[in-house]
Amino acid sequence: MGSLFRFIFAILPAALIAVSLFLLMIYLISDDFEAKEQLEQLDFEINPKAEEIERRTRSVQRATRSQNIETPPPAPRIETEAASKPKEAIASITGAVPEFEAPRLDPNDIKIAVSDRDAQPLVRMPGKVPDRALRDGKSGHCRMRFDVNTSGAPFNIVAYSCTHSMFERESIRATSKFKYRPKIVDGNAVEMRGVETKITYRVTDERGNILPE
């Protein structure tokens, strides 16, 4: 019985709410609907045509030419003077250079003056180291004395001082191939006597050191 009463009390409020809503709906439906404000009617045109606008032309006022224009005066004329022909006669150079005759020279009278000088060496041939000096490992030299003829060739060659006799023959041969500019006295080539020179022979070891004489 208790559960039945609880069920009845729970359904009763819901049934009252539902009946109230139903009666309200019936009342609203039975009332007539009236439009309070009429909507504005709009009119649309598809592809409207543009109205032609009248073209207004501007009046161009042309400037009227002035009738009272003063022309400026012309530029002043510069006076020029025409060139006149010269009155003086043109000078002539005819005869300005006097005529002269070149003197005749006699070849026999021409003498070329050459200052005096001693014999000057032109070619000096070095002496060849003798084979004996290479075997013995000895360096050496020879002092030579000779004369020079008018052609510049040595003669009367003498090896007057040598560190060893094995250098004498080679020194004479090398001196005979010397060439000198001959001695000049009063413009003429003459013999020169007592010319001296020294011919040196250097022998080196395997390291390139010069061996003593």
CA of residue 206 relative to chain centroid, distance: 52
Stronger pLDDT, 94 or 162, i.e. the higher one:
162
What mean pLDDT comes out for the span 135-152? 94
Residue 25 lies in a domain: no
Bridge partner list, 146: 195
Into how many domains does the chain fold?
1
Residue 128 lies in a domain: yes
**Mapping DSSP to helix (H, G, I), strand (E, B) and coil, where does residue 7 land?**
helix
Residue 163 lies in a domain: yes
What mean pLDDT comes out for the span 101-118? 72
For 165: left if phi > 0, alpha if psi spans -120 to 50, otherwise beta; the answer is alpha
pLDDT surpassing 70 at residue 190: yes
Stronger pLDDT, 197 or 71, i.e. the higher one:
197
Residue 183 lies in a domain: yes
Residue 149 lies in a domain: yes
What mean pLDDT comes out for the span 117-126? 87
Contacts 24+ apart (CB under 8 A), 3-8: none
Name the pLDDT band for 132 (thresholds 50, 70, 90).
very high
What is the average pLDDT value for the chain, to the nearest integer?
78
What mean pLDDT comes out for the span 186-202? 92
CATH code assigned at 156: 3.30.2420.10
What's the pLDDT at 130?
A: 93
What range defines the domain where residue 154 resides? 120-201
Per-range mean pLDDT, top range of 48-57, 68-77, 184-193: 184-193
φ, ψ dihedrals at 28, nearest 5°: -70, -35
pLDDT surpassing 80 at residue 90: no
DSSP string, 163-183: SSGGGHHHHHHHHTT-EEEPE
Residue 55 lies in a domain: no
Name the pLDDT band for 111 (thresholds 50, 70, 90).
low
Bridge partner list, 154: 148
Residues 7 and 121: their CA atoms lie apart, in Å, by 162
Residue 32 lies in a domain: no
Stronger pLDDT, 28 or 177, i.e. the higher one:
177
Residue 151 lies in a domain: yes
Residues 135 and 202: their CA atoms lie apart, in Å, by 13
